[in-house]
Every structure is written in structure tokens, then in C-alpha cells.
Amino acid sequence: MTKQLTLADLAGGNSAVTSPSLTASDDPAAGAVVPTADQAKAEAALTPDEQIAKLPPADQQQIAQLAGNIDLTRDGIESSYGKDVQRATSTFADEILSETRSKDTGEAGDLLATMLTTIDEAELGGFRKIPIIGQVAVSIDKLRRRYQKVDAQIDEIITKLEKAQAKLVADIAMYNTMYDQNAQQYRSLKLTVLAGKKALADFNANQLPALEAEAAKSGDAMQAQVLKDFKSKLDRFAKRLDDLDRVSVVTLQTAPQIKIIQNADQTIVDKIDTTISTTIPVWKSQMVIALGLSNQRAALDLQNKADDVTNKLLTRNAEALHRGAVDAEKANQRSVIEIDTLEKINSELIATLRETVQIQKEGKANREAAQVKMRQIESDLKAALIDNAQQL
């Protein structure tokens, strides 16, 4: 049974009670349907108990345990509550920032571009273009030597691409871990906030009315001051819960950001796979065909070779280059971040800013109204004290 507090308890203070550390596992928002504006408004209007009732039994039990260990009379609780969870969130955000800063995803893209340029500039079709004279046949020996040189360059680039790909695959796995950790941080923050709201609501409903009645009954101005200071402390605790709730929103926004980075890495990994498994074998097979056709042309008239073989090779090479260039350009022109994603994030941020301003306005209006009421209370109390003194 909860001990009923007195004003003497508030004035004297109590021993500190620490909250147990959270052991988050699943994201409480996982699988949730995105609410409409009206649904979100209705959700925000729910009491802490109503919000908690929607959670799984295990979460309800953990929140009850956390709330039961919260001592609102403890010195400094209004600034220290949830600090461990908040500090862990900050550390996690620093880790993400550090990984992003040290990341060099451009290396793989540069290697792919170098490979395409090397193939394009190799002029391995069996003909080379000379100004004024036009196109002349390249001897089979020169063609073979050029192929061997370019082939060695391609093999070197492939080796580097495979190393870059392995690093990207490791990064993708790391981002999966970071995503899970972010979900744990989000759940810990939400449970911490709900536990604080429940403890505050229970205190306001069960303990605060008795303290107010005691202060009114005593008629002591100092007792009234003690109660006023404690109410200010409760208000600061509520503000602390609001800060933690805002941090949880930032944590929630971090999840899609992690996935965006991860998906960009996966796109590059897929492009490397396509290049190594498809583009290069096709290019080498075409080169074998080119070498074979060059041997065949040696027994034919130079003009016939220029008319027949040149058209075939140029057509095939042009088609291959066309397909490669179109596919590469389509892949490069595709936006990593969809415009719908940007619009949604932007609308959410705008809504957050607007709601924050509205809450600040309401808080200011409430404080101004409270100031008027408190001055009236002081005036009435002083008048009563003077009248009482005059009647003695």
C-alpha cells in the first residue's frame, strides 16, 4: 500500500530511488498501421493508463514496475529521470554519424566507371579510326596484344571491385545490427516515458489532493510555499517526459535513414554482381568473336572485310554499348531517395514544428493564467493573515 505523503515529507526530502535498467527487445511500434490525423489526435488524448492498456502484457508489467520505483519527491528526479536511456540514444547517434562520415561508397562507383571507360576506349572491334584516311583494319597480332592488355586491366579492376563489394556486404550486415539497436532504443524511450506519465498521473490523482488539503488547512504561508515548490518540480518532471518523448520521435526517424544508407549499399553490390557475372563475360565472348572474325578476314578482300565484317562488329558492339550505356544510365539516374519519402519526412517535421509551437503557446498561456491565480491566492492569504492578526 502506498504511503500517504505529507508536507513535512516534501520539506524534508526522501532517499533516492533508482529505476531498473531497461532490457528492450522488440519495437513496440512494429507492424503498426499509420494513423490518420484524427486517429493520431485521439491517440494523443488518451490517458497514460489507456495508452499502456494497448501494449502487450509484458510491456505493461515492465511499465508498472518502473512506475512503482519512481519517487517524485527525490531531489533532482525532474532532470535525471531517463538519463541513462537518453545517454545511450546519444551514444548510438554518434556511432551512426561516425560510420557515415568514415564511409566511402564512391570507391566502388569509381571502379565501375573506370571499367566502362577502359572497355570503351580499347577499340577492340578490329578497326581503328584515323583522321582523314578513315577506318583501317588492325592486324590480328595488334588486336590480340591490345586485348591482352585490356584484359589484364579488367582483371585488376575486378579484384578491387570484389574487395569493395565485400566491404559493402559487411556494412549492410552492420546496418542491420544498428537498425535493431535503434528499435531497442525507441522501445526503451517509449516505456520510460509511459512509466513516468503513469507515476505522475497516479501521484496527481492520489497524493496531490491530500497535500493541497493539508496546506489549505494549515493556513501556514511557508507550508503553501513548500507545496508550490513541489508543484513546480512536478511541472519540470512533466517537461522532462516531454523531452524524452521528443527524443523517441527522433529515434523513430533514424530507422528509415539507416535503411536508406543500407539500400544504397545494396544497390552498388547488385551492380558489381551484374558487372562481374554478366558484363565482363559478354565482353570477352564478343572479343573472341572479334578475333575469330579477324582471322577470317585475312583471306578476304580488304574491301569485303570492311563492308561485311566491319558492319557486323560495329553493329554488335554498338548494340552492346547501347544496352550497357542505357542500363548504366538508368541505374545512375534512379533516385536513391524517393520524392514521396522526402515529402513524408518533410510533412512530419513541419507538423512537429507546428505542434511544438502550439504547445509552447498553450504552456505560456497556462503559466500566465497561473501567475494571476497565484497572485490572487497570495493576496487572499495575506488579507486573511492580517485580519486574523487584528482579531487577536
345 half-sphere exposure, CB direction, 13 A CA radius: 14
Question: Measured between alpha carbons, how far is 206 from 267 in angstroms, rounded to an integer?
Answer: 57
Question: Measured between alpha carbons, how far is 241 from 189 in angstroms, rounded to an integer?
Answer: 10
pLDDT of residue 132: 40
- In the predicted model, residues of the chain with pLDDT beneath 50 are 14-32, 124-138
Helices 221-274, 106-120: axis angle to 10 degrees equals 20
pLDDT of residue 116: 62
pLDDT of residue 144: 65
Please return the burial class of 334, using the count of CB atoms within 10 Å of its CB with bins 0-12, 13-18 and 19+: exposed
* Type of residue numbered 377: I
Residue 175 near residue 255 (C-beta atoms within 8 A): no
pLDDT of residue 236: 92
pLDDT of residue 126: 46
CA geometry: angle 85, 257, 243, nearest 5 deg: 35
Residue 324 near residue 279 (C-beta atoms within 8 A): yes
Beta bridge partner(s), residue 130: 134
Q: How much of the chain exceeds pLDDT 90, in percent?
A: 3
| Closest-CA residue to 198 (of 359, 59, 29) | 59
Tell me the average pLDDT of the chain: 74
- At residue 81, the 3 state secondary structure works out as coil
